[in-house]
Amino acid sequence: MRIGIGAPKGMPNTGGPALVGLLNSEPWLTTKPDGRLSDRIAKDWQWEQGGLALRLRLRPNVYFHDGTKLTPQLAAEAIRATDTKKDNFSLRSVTSVEPEGTDAILLTLKERNAFVLTDLAALPVIKPGQPNVATGPYQVVMRNGQDTTLSAFPQYYRGQPALAGIEVINYPTQRNAWSALMRSKIDMLYDVSRDSVEFVQAETTVRTYTSQRAFYILLAFNVRHPILRSVAVRQAINEALDREALVRDGLRGQGLVADGPVRPQHWAYAPPEHPFRFDPAGARSRLDAAGFPLKPSPERRVPVRFSFRCLLFGNDPRFERLALVAQKELADIGIDMRLEPVPLDKLVPQLGAGDFDAFLFEMSGRSLARVYDFWRFSPGMMVNSGYRSADAVLDRIRSAQSDEDTRAAVAELLRVMHDDPPAAFIAWQTASRAVSARFDVAAEPDRDILSNLWMWRPAGAATQAAR
């Protein structure tokens, strides 16, 4: 199978590295669509010592791509080798990882941290000292720039992959990738743009598969800003935004309205008791009461209340279109949001330094651990917005030892973020893949089809095998 990815070279998040990683490696555990954990390399797990020790029982007959069998000794070494400065921050709570017997490892923690399990579901199992040797269904045989060729790994513990090999090919634009699919030069379009979904769905030679992405788009505030530090201002901005219109017009309908950083599909989620409603009249009244009346502006023909600058990733039309819709809605209540497109290599340092009034971008909501990592204030955090109101409840989520404690803390988090909003949460995004009808896709409800690509096969192959 040949998979085409349409994005300019050098663009971040083209999907190529993530796709290759998904095929080449596997995590210790996996996360279901509802946020629950399930077995993968580890077949089961158990908390002990009041949440200060975690025992993982390893699946038998797991092999690395070089033929080496995964043992408890190698498993312990692999986890110890994790670079916690770059990712998997929760593993900083782990003080030791030791092999036990023939099929287990024991992690000892210095503090309760429920996110250790969650981060193990995002940590690929890599052979210590050999970053290209993993345990996934496909192994890398050649890299050519951003293009990668993989072959099926015959000792894959879940069974022989149905496809003998996979090529991941990058194109300078999505139009180029789509043209390649139409000319049968590739078999799958990795990501279908929002502008093209309806057109692609009408094509009879391909099938489209849509799933919700675990990324939300938000308009985040710097609460140190002399105006945006006002809770009333941030609440008014939330009331002024018509999220249904933002999804419809800004995202071409390819999304789901967001009310916070926790996915509605997550098992611990409960709708906020008082979600923000589109209420421009109420927003105007709130701003008047807070001391921000309309005033003549030397730069504009109409009076404004105040201005602030909003950074956005300047190389991605998704955010620009959405920002323009939001800009118009805020202008209707007298707020001048000045858009400032910034390339990613400049945007990230500015966010980390707190050099922004607001920004519009996407953030991961894949798990409660990612919610914690982004919103819990700490030195060196990715985005320095100055927001600290949710610190205590985020710590409660991190140390929760039961479903009841987690649900209660998540409900409290959403309440805090409503009463003192750090952002206007806009939408959860959807992703669409296009696959040639020449292939049978093992699609599962609510899951990205890539999660079980190793089970795909040429159309009719199963029928032919049965004969």
CB contact at 8 A, 252 and 432: no
CB contact at 8 A, 148 and 168: yes
Q: List the chain pLDDT tens, one digit each, 467 residues.
A: 999 998 755 455 556 888 999 999 999 999 998 999 999 999 999 999 999 999 999 999 999 999 999 999 999 999 998 876 665 678 889 999 999 999 999 999 999 999 999 999 999 999 999 988 999 999 999 998 889 999 999 999 999 999 999 999 999 888 888 889 989 999 999 988 777 777 777 778 899 998 888 999 999 999 999 999 999 999 999 999 999 999 999 998 889 999 999 999 999 999 888 889 999 999 999 999 999 999 987 777 789 999 999 999 887 777 999 999 999 999 999 999 999 999 888 998 999 999 999 999 999 998 999 999 999 998 878 899 999 999 999 999 999 989 999 999 999 999 999 999 999 999 999 988 999 999 999 888 778 999 899 999 998 765 444 33
**Single-letter amino acid code for the residue at 87:** D
Give the separation between CA 84 and CA 123, rounded to whole angstroms.
11
CA-based radius of gyration for the chain: 24
What SS3 state is found at 362? strand
**Sheet hosting strand 53-58, strand order edge to edge:** 42-48, 53-58, 104-109, 94-100
Structure tokens at 52: 């200060």
**Single-letter amino acid code for the residue at 400:** A
Task: Indicate the CATH number of 26-120 among 3.90.76.10, 1.10.357.140, 3.20.20.120, 3.30.700.30.
Answer: 3.90.76.10
Span(s) in the chain for CATH 3.90.76.10? 26-120
Span(s) in the chain for CATH 3.10.105.10? 213-429
DSSP summary character for residue 248: I
Give the separation between CA 270 and CA 377, rounded to whole angstroms.
24
What is the separation of C-alpha 396 from the centre of its chain, rounded to a whole number of angstroms?
A: 22
Long-range contacts of 172-176 (CB under 8 A, 24+ apart): 172/6, 172/7, 172/8, 172/9, 173/6, 173/7, 173/8, 174/6, 174/7, 175/6, 176/6
What is the per-residue DSSP string for 46-101? EEEGGGTEEEEEEPSS-B-TTSPBP-HHHHHHHHHT--TTTS-GGGGGEEEEEEET
Helix extents (H) in 303-399: 317-331, 344-353, 368-375, 391-399
- pTM (2 decimals)? 0.89
Q: 213-429 adopts what CATH topology? A: Dipeptide-binding Protein; domain 3 (3.10.105)
